[in-house]
Structure 1
Amino acid sequence: MTTAPPVGGLADVVFEHAATDPDRIALARKDADGHWQDISAAQFRDEVIGLAKGLLAQGIRFGDRVGIMSRTRYEWTLFDFALWSVGAQSVPLYPTSSAEQVFWTLHSAGASACLVEHEDHAMTVGSVIDRLPQLRTLWQLDRDPVTELTTAGAHLGDEVVHRHRMAVTPDATATIVYTSGTTGRPKGCDITHANFMAEADNVVLRYEAVFHSRPGDEASTLLFLPLAHVFGRMVQVAAVRGRVKLAHQPELAARALLPDLRSFRPSFILAVPYVFEKVFAVARRQAETDGKETAFDKAVDIAVRYAEALEHKAFGTGAGPGAALRMQHQLFDKLVYSKIREAMGGRVRHAMSGGSAMGRRLGLFFAGAGVTIYEGYGLTESTAAATANPPERTRFGTVGTPVPGTTVYIADDSEIWLHGAQIFRGYHNDARSTGAVLSEGWFATGDLGSLDEDGYLTITGRKKEVLITSGGKTVSPVVLEERVRAHPLVAQCIVVGNDRPFIAALVTLDPEAVTHWLTVRGKPELPPSDLVRDPDLEAEIRRAVIAANTLVSQAESIRTFRILAHQFSEESGLLTPSLKLRRRAIEAAYAAEVDALYET
């Protein structure tokens, strides 16, 4: 376990690394031709200090708050460390935020300046700027504010920045990250420099060995998680502090992400389950197109059995894969698994997953295919990971054991409580909400879970999302929803049934998977309203529901379902920016469809 240093802030490490190892490649970014260009530790320091001087020259002062509204890109990391160098605080905004969300965040935080990515973002801020009298400055990334600011601050000496940096203390706020808010208005989490240092350093200490594809090689990662989310910010800070070469990719879509994985070739990645689900789905569809779906499914089964055997060996409950299984695994490694790894860049042998739950079978498959995914759990309030699976004993289907320095306690009502140096200071200007969740350093997460005999945590749901049927049956919807979503045709699933006689579900479809499914079966393209009534499609989704029902009692099972013509989206207000379901909003938007599920 490591603790945050007694003095200093997050920016210090940029200057320390440049002084001790100036030529080490610290980051990479794409040039205008799409080629990756290396950035040394010394070059990054020079860019940070140049930008920091420009921020001072344009009126940013110690303690000021600056909004950042952008996709994941190099400049966000540059601005973060420049702001921290002068004692300012960054306030991330999702690039898809509405005008009202932008207003609330900037107003609540009291931001004096804001960095946006392009004209559309500038117009969004502009539409509410008359209600933000404290907002004095707006920069736009596609107009190269880095050069503008660096030029503006060139007359200042470096010592001006260093005086500001030396005044930063570990307990100072580094950033205010607003929760994505499945219910109610988002709350700003005051996360300190010490929170980030404790979180990042303990993750690096525990998992440094898995950052490499093989012992001794260069550790590198491609960051494609949104930097507006605390998981992405933790990866950014941990990479810089842990001397991991860091590159950025602004799109989660497979068509953009997969080519960059192949060209950058990271040694490990950190992602949400959606990314791994997409990699698997693309491989499965390609196999079906090539007429090799039977062989692919056999390869999946072998990978799962192989990984399960290794898991049993790690926990002392088995001898590991037998000779026959090892031979089959070796055969499919050449035919299937190597192609999966190549799709992720070719070097990746380890990955970390968080943000939402990942199915046990998917985790076993990737492990059997040569990419072990360490699933973890955390929240904005815990500065990302509070638990994660240990490399030497991964228990798939759980979110692992506490990261060093963290304590997990399960209350009498199964709520998860967390304690550690990475727990946030409180909600910004909201003592009432802070007092409701923080008590003597313990954070009440609102999530439900259980610890097994080895100390591994399993998430079972959220307190606010537990359903109670009219018959008094208590049901946690998460396990059912995740199992239905495991079907390749399913994009989303929401289980309903609160104050209703039984449990039911609304299901949305993955357009790419449906198009492939129609093509393989020689079916014509249909309008969404007709497609959802296709009896063969309904039979496929019914199989997914039946599989989910095997996990619960009959009283908890999904009795009926409805396929919707369109996915839930962030733009429609039905998903949070981190892709979580806004349950109340969905049930309100689809009230007629929900009522129809219960008509006799």
Structure 2
Amino acid sequence: MREITVPVQKTVTSSELIPVVARGRAVSDPGGAPFEYHRDGQWHPFTNAELVARVDKIAAGLVASGVEPGDRVALMAGTRLEWVLVDMAVWTAGAITVPVYPSSSAGQLEWILTDSAAKVLVAETDEHVVVVADTQVPDTCTRVLYLDDGGLEALEADGEAVPAETLDAALASLDLDSPASIIYTSGTTGRPKGCVITHRNVLSECHALLGHPIGSMAQDGKKTLMFLPLAHVLARAVTYTVFLGEATVGFWDDTSTILPRFADFRPHMILGVPRVFEKVRDGIAAKAGAKGNVQKRIFERAEAVAIEASRLRGGDGLGDARTPSLAHTIQHKALDLAVYKAVREALGGRCEYAISGGGALPDRISHFFRGLGVPLYEGYGLTESTAAATVNGPGCQRIGTVGRPVAGTGVRIAESGEVELSGALIFDSYWNNEKATAEAIRDGWFATGDLGSLDADGYLTITGRAKEIIVTAGGKNVAPGPIEDGIRAHRLIGQAVLIGEGRKFVSALITVDDAEFAGWAAENGHAGKSVADLADDPALRAAIQFAVDDANRLVSHAEGVKKFTVLARDFTEDSGELTATLKIKRHVVAERYAEQIEAMYA
């Protein structure tokens, strides 16, 4: 199959704009609790009535600060209730939210503020105070507020004099094609581009998920624990999907302490990136190993049996399921009591399934969780598609694929093998970048830059990336060019190639400049030695580490290089690692140095 389009199931209207829906529920169901927040060791409900009252006060404060319909408000904060309050308040003021990852560097923040011409910046922590201090905040940004320093309370106080009619008029200025957000995503080259996401895009995505089998997460009474950054388009889309479905979202920002929150929030659904689920699996294995060899062997056997149980199930609708042997069935039941039940309890005891996005999910992790009773449903999308364009789900899961298109979405495979998308959830344009928009959207189809294939039933498999953007296992998009350039800027460095696609962290293969090395070696008492002789020399590694550290300052911590390997020789055109124009052939480097790459992740 080369193309598939799934028909629209629901046509959205302006009456379904999220802040409009919120206002309606404040009247029809004031005590309903769409959100919960954790404070003083307990979860607290946040009702529809409280939501609208607080959102309107913040929106009035934004209006008092000079924010008018169509203006941009930057939001740099972690996953917390206040993020959603500010987001909805920006919309209520008729304005556009510009999310900024809370881990962004000063350089990244400066570009986003400048390019978007944001009028207000809402940041969060003391750490952000430092980042803003290092940022050349443009004149267009007239106010900076911090959530942890009474920023919202200050806005609410400023908004007391704003008439309700003014707020009503601002909200009424919105329609489906009004921009809801400008989300910056790294391009293959140059500066990050701002994706203009309209309210139609957001609602199309939310209702497509609600109409999919995976939408059972948003049924009344169900709970979703949100801990991914809300600046991530997927986390935001799922949050509002659950809200529109009248279920409940709880917010938690510290992934290092997420297990206790699983236990006390007891979610029915978990949204994560591949690395989250790998950490859960690795944590279980580590605990088993710490108890001795017997427990370690039990876990290893439990993992193997769970994976085999999932493989025997095959793919939904394929008719390839196989009947497990009696011995396998007995083992699985015994291990369910000994191991699998404990894993399910660690996830809160009632987790029906989890959604994985933002990066490639290893098949073994999918099989492990499905085999123990908590299926992981993998989807595929980009910022430009307002999150999931395809997704697996209950009754429609084929591990190894990223699912079928959601309602109202088309997927086709170009002659080049590139995946192209169409539909109401595809973004409007790149902010102030007509050239990039024209290059990305061709004849109504968005060119993703990813390579893939469709099976006979329309399930999409991603087979590679045409773009150079690295997506780590944690779902972080990393543009390698600026970091590589920063490392190469140091005289001792020949070439630097970032590694990290689907990996836990970013690493680098680094070569030493032949011309500079001889002088360095002589200065450091190693005259006559080769790079191969000194690849593990502390002084050489320290010199290269300095270059790496310097380059890491250009980016957020998650994008920085954590490990590197010094290669024995520089890349050349003759050896096949460089093109005639001296560009690196990344696939050649990855194949040739696969052993060194694997060693960095061992």
Structure 1 residue 111 corresponds to structure 2 residue 118: yes
Q: CA RMSD in A?
A: 3.3
Distance 2:305 2:551 in 1: 41
2:194 counterpart residue number: 188
Contact 1:315 1:393 in 2 (8 A): no
Distance 1:43 1:13 in 2: 14
Shift of 1:239: 2.1
TM-score normalised by L of structure 1: 0.78
Shift of 1:9: 3.0
Q: What are the superposed Cα offsets for residues 218-265 of structure 1, whole Å, 9 maximum, x if unpaired? A: 21111111112211221222122222211111123xx31222222211
**Counterpart secondary structure, 1:154:** helix
1:46 counterpart residue number: 53
Shift of 1:155: 3.5
Shift of 1:388: 0.5
2:131 counterpart residue number: 124
Distance 1:237 1:221 in 2: 11
Shift of 1:202: 0.8
Match of 2:19 among 2, 11, 21: 11
User: Taking CA–CA contacts closer than 8 Å with sequence separation of 6 or more, which of the two structures ends up with the larger relative contact order?
Assistant: 2
Contact 1:390 1:401 in 2 (8 A): no
2:99 counterpart residue number: 92
1:453 counterpart residue number: 456
Report percent identity of matched pairs.
38
Match of 2:181 among 131, 153, 175: 175
Distance 1:459 1:314 in 2: 20
Q: What are the superposed Cα offsets for residues 111-161 of structure 1, whole Å, 9 maximum, x if unpaired? A: 0110010233133223334x5011111111111222222222224343332
Match of 2:319 among 316, 319, 322: 316
Q: How does 1:133-532 map to 2 (within 5 A)?
A: 133-181=139-187, 183-207=189-213, 210-211=216-217, 218-252=221-255, 255-291=256-292, 292-311=295-314, 314-465=317-468
Distance 1:337 1:493, change over 3 A: farther
**Counterpart secondary structure, 1:11:** helix
For 1:306, give the aligned amino acid. A
Contact 1:569 1:575 in 2 (8 A): no
Contact 1:9 1:165 in 2 (8 A): no
For 1:270, give the aligned amino acid. L
TM-score normalised by L of structure 2: 0.78
Distance 2:141 2:367 in 1: 50
Contact 1:22 1:41 in 2 (8 A): yes
Contact 2:356 2:377 in 1 (8 A): yes
Q: What are the superposed Cα offsets for residues 271-329 of structure 1, whole Å, 9 maximum, x if unpaired? A: 10000000000001111111211111111111112112223574212354454433322
For 1:73, give the aligned amino acid. R
Shift of 1:57: 2.1
1:76 counterpart residue number: 83
Q: What are the superposed Cα offsets for residues 448-470 of structure 1, whole Å, 9 maximum, x if unpaired? A: 11112221111111113499xxx
1:572 counterpart residue number: 552
For 1:375, give the aligned amino acid. E
Distance 1:157 1:124 in 2: 35
Distance 1:432 1:323, change over 3 A: same
1:536 counterpart residue number: none
Distance 1:569 1:377 in 2: 33
1:470 counterpart residue number: none
Shift of 1:2: 2.0
Contact 2:87 2:97 in 1 (8 A): yes
Shift of 1:188: 0.3
Distance 2:247 2:549 in 1: 34
Q: How does 1:578-589 map to 2 (within 5 A)?
A: none
For 2:267, give the aligned amino acid. P
Shift of 1:8: 6.0
Shift of 1:478: 13
Distance 1:102 1:158, change over 3 A: same
Q: Which runs of 5+ in 2 are unaligned?
A: 1-8, 471-496, 512-535, 539-543, 572-588, 594-602
**Counterpart secondary structure, 1:25:** coil
Shift of 1:495: 8.7
For 2:144, give the aligned amino acid. L
Shift of 1:445: 0.4
Distance 1:460 1:494 in 2: 23
**Counterpart secondary structure, 2:448:** strand
Moved more, 427-436 or 20-29: 20-29
For 1:282, give the aligned amino acid. G
Shift of 1:427: 0.5
Q: What are the superposed Cα offsets for residues 15-53 of structure 1, whole Å, 9 maximum, x if unpaired? A: 12222222111111122x132111111211111112112
For 1:205, give the aligned amino acid. G
For 1:70, give the aligned amino acid. A
Distance 2:91 2:166 in 1: 14
Q: How does 1:545-556 map to 2 (within 5 A)?
A: none
For 1:4, give the aligned amino acid. V
For 1:202, give the aligned amino acid. A
Distance 1:573 1:280, change over 3 A: farther
Distance 1:493 1:307 in 2: 33
Structure 1 residue 59 corresponds to structure 2 residue 59: no
Match of 1:30 among 25, 38, 57: 38
Distance 2:454 2:446 in 1: 17
Q: What are the superposed Cα offsets for residues 146-203 of structure 1, whole Å, 9 maximum, x if unpaired? A: 2222222224343332221122111000010000456431100000000000001111
Contact 2:306 2:371 in 1 (8 A): yes
For 1:125, give the aligned amino acid. V
Matched positions, count: 509
Contact 2:37 2:45 in 1 (8 A): yes
Q: Which runs of 5+ in 1 are unaligned?
A: 468-476, 498-528, 532-563
